[in-house]
Amino acid sequence: MGSLSVRPHICVVGSLNIDHTARTPRCPGPGETLTASSSQVSMGGKGANQAVACGRASITSRSSRQEPDTLVTMIGAVGGDDQYFSSLIQPTLAASGVSTEYIKQIESQNTGTAYIIVEEAAGCENRILVIPGANHSPSMNDLEGVLASITQQQPPCDVVLLQGEIPSSTVLGILHHFNSQAQGPKVVFNPAPVFPAGIPLSALRGTAVLIMNETEAVQVLSCVDAETAAAKTIVAAETLRPKDIARRIHQLAMVQVVIITLGSKGVFYSTIAGTAGLVQGVAVDAVVDTTAAGDTFVGYFAVHYAKLVAGSSKSLDHLDSPIQLAVQVANSAAAVTVQRLGASSSVPFAYELSL
141 is in an annotated binding site: no
Q: Is there a binding annotation on residue 79?
A: no
Cα 268–269–272 angle (5° rounding)?
145
- Round to whole Å and give the CA distance between 194 and 168: 9
Give the CA angle between residues 207, 326, 19 to the nearest 5°. Answer: 75
Q: Which residues pair with 38 in a beta bridge?
A: 23
Q: Which helix (H) or strand (E) holds 75?
A: strand 71-79
Indicate if the alpha-carbon torsion angle 188, 192, 193, 198 is positive or negative.
positive
Write the DSSP symbol of residue 310.
T
Give CA–CA dist 247/239, Å, rounded: 14
Distance CA 64, CA 100 (A): 19
Q: Is 295 marked within a binding site?
A: yes
**With contact defined as beta carbons under 8 Å apart, do 141 and 167 qualify?**
yes
**Is 266 one of the annotated binding-site residues?**
yes
Helix axis angle for 214-228 and 242-253, nearest 10°, is 40
Q: Is 295 considered catalytic here?
A: yes
Q: Is 17 annotated as a binding residue?
A: yes
Give DSSP secondary structure letters for 326-338. HHHHHHHHHHHHT
Which of 69, 82, 225, 295 is the catalytic position? 295
340 among annotated binding-site residues? yes
Is 239 annotated among the ligand-binding residues? Answer: no
261 marked as binding residue:
yes
User: Is 165 annotated among the ligand-binding residues?
Assistant: yes
- Sorted by sequence, the CB contacts under 8 Å of residue 248 that are 6+ apart come out as 221, 224, 225, 240
Ligand-binding annotation for 271, yes or no, is: no
Gap between the Cα atoms of 334 and 137, Å rounded: 31
46 is in an annotated binding site: yes
- 49 is an annotated ligand-binding site residue: yes
What type of residue sits at position 326? A
- Which amino acids are annotated catalytic? 295
Binding positions:
17-19, 45-49, 165, 213, 261-266, 289, 291, 294-295, 331, 337, 340, 342, 346
Binding positions for ATP:
213, 261-266, 294-295, 331
